[in-house]
Structure 1
Amino acid sequence: MSPVYPFDEADTARAVLDREGTVTEWSEGARRLLGWKAEEVVGRPAAELIQGQPPAVHPPHWNGRVTLRHRAGHTVTVWLLVHHRQPASGGTGDWLAVTPLADDRPRQADDPLEHAGLTQSPCAVAIYDERLRLHRINDAMAEVIGLPEERVRGLRLPEISGGRLDGEEIERRLHRVLTTGRGDERAYVPVGVHGRVTAWLTRMAPITDAAGRARGVCVAVHDFTEQFASRERLQLVNEASVRIGTTLDITRTAQELADVCVPALADFVSVDLLDPPEPTGDPAAGPVTAPVALRRAAHQSVNPGSPEAVLKPGQRDVYPAASPQADSLLAGRAIVATVPSGDLAQWLTWDKARMERVREYGVHSTMAVPILARGATLGVAVLTRFRRPDPFTPDDVLLAEEITARAAVCIDNARRYSRERETALALQRSLLPQSLPRTAALDAASRYLPAARSGVGGDWFDVIPLSGMRVAMVVGDVVGRGIQAAATMGRLRTAVRTLADIDLAPDELLTHLDDLVVRLSSEAGGESSTAAVGATCLYAVYDPVSRRCTLARAGHPPPVMQPPGGRPRQVDLPAGPPLGLGGLPFESAEIELPEGTVLTLYTDGLIESRERGVYAAHALLCDALAASSASLDETCDRILHTLLPTGGASDDVALLLARTQGLPASRVATWDIPADPALVAPIRKQAVVQLDRWGLPDASFTAELVVSELVTNAIRYGTHPIRLRLIHDTATLICEVSDTSHTAPHLRRAKTWDEGGRGLLLVAQLTQRWGSRHTADGKTIWAEIALLDDV
């Protein structure tokens, strides 16, 4: 008696044998049939109970007549059904042998089971009695289970199925119908028969007597394998549309194609792509010719580690005309080949390594599907079966072509994106400074990292030497991605350098830059309504003489400063609107930077991420800056390692670190000059004396001429007060003359008999460079004299 189903189990003779043929279980029904008690049989070989030679039994099941020895000495011939059962936890399993016993119960004329006219029904129908034993089946059901009614009548469903059709689960459903009196029309039961998937839709209903009491269960089974397979194919196509093309990476997309097809469509899938022969990255035009050189992009297998693969991802191989890969590419359609038919014999004879894999894993069918997109041939996907015994069907070919076509578009998109990304990245790097200039005002280090999973943006940085040993630092970020953003970045960087050369104040420079971005956006809008240009920028000018820094920003993150021995902190700086809005004012702020202060400028890609908020990122940035470092380069690397994820940032990152240096007062000399031309000679002599104190006698001659010319021009054309300043470091001597006039000087070509007009030309010829800059009080004319021969 079963604790779940309280019915007599003695109506079935049942025995369980282990892998060696030893009896491990013996039912009461078996005792009734042969007279042997369980303790007399369990542990003995089953062959001792068989008269004559035991039949040859092979998995998964067997049935036939067998002559058995009765305990009383005579023989009993019975029809026996034998199943091989696989344990849930793995292992070798055991064998279940069953046969029904004669039902000696009297039959009643009004038994509803006897009046269930089923034999002529085209639907597979079975009748189970109130003990959940099979009472009747029609011909259609006998064909489904592959056994005649007289052989299985009286057996329970698990005994009939032997593990197929999930008999125990269905029997639980039968029991619920019997005990509750309510029908069960739940779904379907897909099962594997001889390696092929068969789907059954089962409906159960109670059979009641005149009093309404359930006396049995009627089960109707419908084979809807084709509908089930169609739904599975639609689900696989839908899954492919979701899983393939999640990124714009060619290798990742190829791997997603292989992953989707295993194990749903094949046991092993390889994806091989053509190497683009053109420098642009475009696939070869025209038809493909054999032999074909392909590079393994991805593969997947039902076996961990894909041991069937001959090539590793990234390796290249050449396929002759007899191979499935070349044949499908030449034909432009899917090619199905089987090993038993000899379709692959020529190729496998040539390729010994693949022949060994075919023999080792029992490969029997392959299907090669070309990867085609937008008229271009990109590669081929090869699907292989060895665990699944059935070959590829025409429906499988259509399904593989549909999935591969979807993947081909994604691979082509990834290829086009990769080409544009590489072009934009090359343009971006060519427009960024290859190295930072060495100045007496500061030491600098920088890093630029393109986005890991999106298009290249328009981030940039720069260090620009200015007059008076000052230096400008700039970091900017153009809105958008791709080649257009990189080109716009190049135009803005050039504009910043041009505006910096005329020594505009930071807020004025941003105003001019804003006008340029507005014009660029207007020009772009004429071509495309979505091509608006925008940018953010931070511009700072540091003076090593005064040790003060003037900064202004246009919608850009503020910098972080770390004074010597102090804690890093964010600079309080007016935000300003982003560039491109037009007409809005910018504000400057001036701060003092003690010598040795580290100023950190960066773009928002460094601090903005999905993993953490901006405030947390600022805290991490300050912690990375506060840690001791041997160099600014080491600090840059630590900052990137601390703030950026392992796989790379989702946005471009530009980082600029500058450690300020101060110019000692001993290297600066200043004179206030009265507006008297007669005093030019004494001022010139004082300048020479100062150069002697500095140990620069070789520069005296040039400096004397420059000082004389600049001071004379200031007295003659400028406005009082006038000031002369000399600044020098190891490589450069700077002469500056300031006055309160806003009129800028310019070079001109003097005529033969002109008495003047040659002074600035002389200054330009004798000095390394010269220029003028406007100040709040007027202007300053400056000239730089090289102190080293190679400068």
Structure 2
Amino acid sequence: MERQSTYTATATIDEHGILTGWSDGARRLLGYDSSAVVGRPASTLLAGDATAARRALAGRDRWNGTVPLRHQDGRRLERGVLAHRRTSGSGAGDWLVVSAVTARAQPPRGEPLEEWTFLQSPFPLAIFDADLRLVRANRRLEHALALPEAAMRGLCLAHIVPGAGGEEADRSMRRALESGRPQETGDRLGPDLGRPTVLTPLKDADGRVRAVCLSVQPPPDSVLARRPADETGPPGATAADQARAAQELGEVTVPRLADVMAVDLLDSPRPGTEGGGRTPDPVVLRRAALRPVPDGDGPARGAAVGEVVVCPAESPAARCLAVSRPLLYDTAEPAVAEWAALDPYAGWLRASGTRSLLVVPLLAEGGTLGVALFGRSPGRPPFGPEDLRLAEEFTAKAAVGIERARGHARTRTTAMALQRSLLPQALPEQAALEIAARYLPSASRAGVGGDWFDVIPLSGARVALVVGDVVGHGIRASATMGRLRTAVRTLADVDLPADELLTHLDDLVLRLAADEGSADPAAETAGGIGATCLYAVYDPVSRRCTAARAGHPPPALVTPDGTVRFLDVPAGPPLGLGGLPFEAVDTALPEGSLLALYTDGLLEARDHDIDEALATMFAALAGPAESLEAVCDRVLTELLGHRPDDDIALLVARTRVLHEDRVAHWELDKEPTVVSRARRYIDEQLSAWGLDEAAFTTELMVSELVTNAIRYGRPPIRLRLIHHDATLICEIYDASGSTPHMRRARIFDEGGRGLLLVAQLAERWGTRHERIGKTVWAEQSLTAL
């Protein structure tokens, strides 16, 4: 398939109409740099009246259409845009506005038979090119997403369907493009789309992947429609989202009760009102179901599933919500006939020729969720009392399913937001390891779990790698994970050995379990907190890795010659058992070795046994790759053909080495005259490294640290200087286990100012205890010199 010269212009606009984001594509389109427009009203970029734009967006969560824009040079541009309203966890909202700029207006078409097959397929289909931009979409996908192909063409899936579903499908599509193998994802792309979503690579005659086809299996017909009324369970009782619960209400009631029906939901429940209340303003709802779906688009269809429905204050839906009871209408009544004729969202009523209209509120414990509208054509008798009873029964059951789905969605969203906020937002800068990481949340109804990873820079240019897993799912598991991750970082900051760190972490888990159990002895948490952890420290100077694990899978090691094996780290008990020891193992690693740390969800995919999964993982790690990012993608691609049933954390690191020309060390005698000799060593070494500007500060710190070691320490005394990247590290070792403390000297004291001076001169300093003795270190940044 021919490659397109396409780019995407994106901008974000806050609730007050102020531009808060401006992409490079937007700069290419309109000529403005980010600094020239961010912080200004978005209306200044429009070539027409801003009132029309505000009116078009009012009450909507998505809009697409053509907008007149003003280029920096004064030209007027007519651009098709797609705008999504986004809401953060704090309730603040903004608009994401995207526009694809492509040199080709229409994609190529196939032979007539191929074209008919694509367009008329009952499955939603789309084709994305090698840049993962949409070039074709069939009618079923257009209807399901309520977007025309023209509005989606040239955009990536994450811009067409913002959110976890679009992002996951976009990643799977990239894996299909790179691996040449079909992929599958479990997230829904829209309320009218089922699962799974299948991404199939499209290859040319030479076997090269040129595009990716996205296909979605439609939701299966519900068995509820084939059951008698007394056997019908609550619609949506087993559904994963409220849209499916609303659709099942249509499957139960059409054609048994009505010829046509629609479900319109409020974005958030409202308390029910009693009596003959009226809403002074229009009511904004969202269409969750429409059955049957009218043919065609535009006025004959009305609002499609997923679109916003704005109901005037005197419309049947608004009045039903105001009084919180069912209302029965004859559409020939003047007031109802006028609404049905003029309101664009009532197109489905006009198209079906509805004569008798029944509007029933969806009531749940949380309040009124929305309304269900049932219509009968003139060929059937108007709704009667028995029909009203059945409609109330069915909508009550549907409301239970919708409320349950909303609660599950809220819980999952909260847990996901908490989990994401507690994981590293960016990997820290360090020179010891090249690192890439991935985190995939669970696709199961149980929600996200407590998997985590971390990268912690330590003293002496060393780096700690951490991967852990808290048993369970949901908010509790995420919160526990955050507490354990914070504890690990705190313990690592005091440079505890790996086995001692896990011992302290084990004690913490026992205390957490005791606290939770004492707070509520009947709670699930009273049984304890299950967690596993792997902690490894790599030293680029000695090229050694020290690791200990608590019930966690061992790390995989790939040596430069391609050999793959597990590091032989004793398993140790899971955290929270107490009283059992942990053992650390020290291993020498050749430069360029690859370490892979992961959680057990990676090897527990439902379509693999453990031996097959291990062999697949080893092969994926050992294969050639341009980068560690590609290694992560290949491991996940090979092991997962779908969203995982359990959370997965994957951390891949390639070792680097600080060679001898970057490290200098000296043995010092325990006598006062050695201080001047140490200063001379430092001065000569820094001169050899071309760091003469750092000599004065470094000599001062070394003088104080060596003096302390001679006065209070025990031999042997060693001085080490490490230069890596833009950092200079001074280390003084002695065999004493006493820890130096910084204190402020009084006026007549002759000493006591040494460590205070070191703290003022160094960017960081501290003490690292060894099995025998200690090392006092001070780190300074060379960029500030």
Please classify the TM superposition score into its range, dividing by the shorter chain length: 0.5 to 0.7
* In structure 2, distance between residues paired with 1:469 and 1:682: 25
Aligned residue among 685, 696, 707 for 1:690? 685
Residue of 663, 671, 675 corresponding to 2:670: 675
Equivalent residue letter for 2:369: L
> 1:250 — aligned with what?
242
Q: Which of 485, 496, 501 in structure 2 is aligned with 1:504?
A: 496
Q: 1:360 to 1:466 in 2, by over 3 A?
A: closer
Which residue of 636, 652, 658 maps to 2:653?
658
Partner of 2:605: 609
Q: Do 1:237 and 1:399's aligned partners in 2 also have CA atoms closer than 8 Å?
A: no
Note the alpha carbon deviations across 1:676-707, whole angstroms, 9 max, x for none: 22222223212221222222211111222222
How far 1:266 moved relative to its partner? 3.1
Q: CA deviation at 1:519?
A: 0.6
8 Å CA contact 1:535, 1:580 repeated in 2: yes
Conserved 8 A contact 1:262-1:302: no
Q: Which digits, 9 at most, give the CA deviation of each residue in 1:742-774, with x for residues without a partner?
A: 111110111111121111111111111111111
The 1-side partners of 2:297 and 2:388 are apart by 23
Q: Match of 2:584?
A: 588
Contact 1:273-1:297 within 8 A present in 2 as well: yes
C-alpha contact (below 8 Å) 1:515/1:580 kept by paired residues: yes
Aligned AA for 1:737? I
Q: For residue 771 of structure 1, what is the amino acid of its counterpart?
A: G
SS in 1 for 2:267: coil
Aligned to 2:341, which of 334, 345, 349? 349
Q: How does 1:408-419 map to 2 (within 5 A)?
A: 408-419=399-410
Q: Within the alignment, does 1:518 sit opposite 2:513 as a pair?
A: no
Distance, in Å, in 2 between the alignment partners of 1:630 and 1:232 is 53
The whole-number CA distance in structure 1 between the counterparts of 2:626 and 2:611 is: 27
Tell me, yes or no, if structure 1 residue 530 matches structure 2 residue 527. Answer: no
Output the amino acid matched with 1:576. G
Q: Match for residue 461 of structure 1?
A: 453
Indicate yes or no: 2:326 matched with 1:334. Answer: yes
Q: Work out which of the residue numbers 347, 363, 367 in structure 2 matches 1:376.
A: 367
C-alpha separation between the residues in 1 aligned to 2:264 and 2:344?
19
Asked if 2 retains the 8 angstrom alpha-carbon contact of 1:250 and 1:415, the reply is yes
Counterparts of 2:710 and 2:382, CA distance in 1: 100
2:473 is paired with a residue of what secondary structure? Answer: coil
User: C-alpha offsets along residues 182-214 of structure 1, whole Å, 9 cap, x if unaligned?
Assistant: xxxxxxxxxxxxxxxxxxxxxxxxxxxxxxxxx
Equivalent in the alignment of 1:438: 429
Q: Which residue of 2 aligns with 1:367?
A: 358
Q: Alpha-carbon deviation of 1:737?
A: 1.2
2:107 corresponds in structure 1 to none
Per the TM alignment, residue 303 of structure 1 is displaced from its structure 2 partner at its CA by: 7.4
Contact (CA 8 Å) 1:740, 1:779: kept in 2 or not? yes
Tell me the SS of whatever aligns to 1:677: coil
CA deviations on 1:373-419 (whole Å, 9 max, x unpaired) are 11501111222344973443433322222222122122122222322
| Contact 1:553–1:575, Cα closer than 8 Å, also in 2 | yes
1:566 matched residue in structure 2: 562
For the Cα contact (< 8 Å) 1:750–1:758, is it kept in 2? yes
Any idea what SS the aligned residue of 2:575 has? coil
Deviations 1:320-372 (A, max 9, x none): 355432233233223333446778423223336746x5454443333222111
Secondary structure of the equivalent of 1:437? coil
Write out per-residue CA displacement over residues 7-66 of structure 1, whole angstroms, 9 at most, x where no aligned residue: xxxxxxxxxxxxxxxxxxxxxxxxxxxxxxxxxxxxxxxxxxxxxxxxxxxxxxxxxxxx
- CA distance in structure 2 between the partners assigned to 1:727 and 1:262 by the alignment: 77
Query: What is the distance in 2 between the residues matched to 1:678 and 1:526?
Result: 61
Tell me by how many angstroms 1:451 deviates.
2.4
Q: Distance in 1 between matches of 2:565 and 2:382?
A: 69
Distance in 2 of aligned mates of 1:663 and 1:405:
69
Give the match's secondary structure for 2:649: strand
In 2: Cα distance, 1:662 partner to 1:274 partner: 59
State which of 740, 746, 750 in structure 2 corresponds to 1:751: 746
Q: In the alignment, which of 689, 709, 713 is matched to residue 714 of structure 1? A: 709
CA drift at 1:670: 1.6
- Look up the match of 2:476: 484
Residue 108 of structure 1 aligns with which residue? Answer: none
Counterpart CA distance in 2 for 1:388 and 1:451 is 50
Distance 2:349 2:781 in 1: 77
Give the CA deviation at 1:473: 0.8
TM-score by length of 1: 0.65
The offset of 1:498, in angstroms, is: 0.7
Q: CA deviation at 1:730?
A: 2.2
Distance 2:542 2:557 in 1: 17
Q: 2:698 aligns with which of 695, 699, 703?
A: 703
Q: Which residue of 2 aligns with 1:775?
A: 770
For 1:605 and 1:550, the matched residues in 2 are separated by 24
Q: Matched residues in 1 for 2:567 and 2:229: separation?
A: 56
Which residue number corresponds to residue 14 of structure 2?
none
State the shift of 1:257 in Å: 2.7
C-alpha separation between the residues in 1 aligned to 2:502 and 2:572?
10
Aligned-partner Cα distance in 1 for 2:679–2:329: 97
Shift in alpha-carbon separation, 1:756–1:360, aligned structure 2, 3 A: closer
Return the structure number with greater relative CO, CA threshold 8 A, min gap 6.
2
Q: Tell me the SS of whatever aligns to 1:443.
A: strand
Q: Distance in 2 between the 1:504 and 1:638 partners?
A: 35
Match of 1:636 in 2: 632
Quick one: structure 1 residues 590 and 768, their matched pair in 2 at CA, closer, same or farther if it must change by over 3 Å? same
For structure 1, the 5+ residue unaligned runs are 1-230, 277-281
When residues 304 and 762 of structure 1 are mapped into structure 2, their CA distance, relative to the original with a 3 A threshold, is: same
1:653 and 1:584 map into 2 onto residues whose CA distance is: 27
Match of 1:599 among 595, 598, 609: 595
The change in CA–CA distance for 1:333 and 1:758 in structure 2 (over 3 A counts) is same
Distance 1:358 1:267, change over 3 A: same
Question: Distance between the aligned counterparts of 1:236 and 1:500, measured in 2?
Answer: 62
TM-score, normalised to structure 2's length?
0.66
Per the alignment, do residues 312 and 351 of structure 1 end up closer, same or farther by CA in structure 2, a change over 3 Å counting? same
Q: 1:595 is aligned with what amino acid?
A: E
Is 1:405 the equivalent of 2:393? no
Deviation at 1:548, TM superposition (A): 1.1
- Aligned partners of 1:263 and 1:619: how far apart in 2? 54
Distance, in Å, in 2 between the alignment partners of 1:306 and 1:384 is 20
Secondary structure (helix, strand or coil) at the match of 1:274 reads: strand
Give deviations 1:423-468, integer Å, cap 9, x for gaps: 3322222222211111110121222232234323222211111011
Bigger mean CA offset, 540-549 vs 338-347: 338-347
- Looking at structure 2, the residues matched to 321 and 535 of structure 1 have their Cα atoms a distance apart, in angstroms, of 55
CA 1:452–1:387: 2 relative to 1, 3 Å: farther
CA distance in 1, matches of 2:385, 2:331: 18
1:578 aligned residue (566, 574, 587) = 574
Q: Distance in 2 between matches of 1:615 and 1:334?
A: 60
Q: Deviations over 1:611-666 (max 9, x none)?
A: 323333333333333343322223323333333344x3232222222121111112
Structure with the greater alpha carbon radius of gyration = 1
Change beyond 3 A, Cα 1:737–1:369: same
| Closer, same or farther: CA 262–562 of 1 in aligned 2, 3 Å | farther
What are the ranges of 5 or more consecutive residues in structure 2 without an aligned counterpart?
Answer: 1-223
Aligned residue pairs, count:
552
Q: CA distance change for structure 1 residues 375 and 754 in 2, over 3 Å: closer, same or farther? A: closer
Q: Which residue of 2 aligns with 1:121?
A: none
Q: Deviations over 1:66-102 (max 9, x none)?
A: xxxxxxxxxxxxxxxxxxxxxxxxxxxxxxxxxxxxx
Give, in angstroms, the shift of residue 234 of structure 1. 7.6
Q: Secondary structure at the match of 2:233?
A: helix
Q: CA offset at residue 540 of structure 1?
A: 0.7
For residue 236 of structure 1, the aligned residue among 229, 233, 246 is: 229
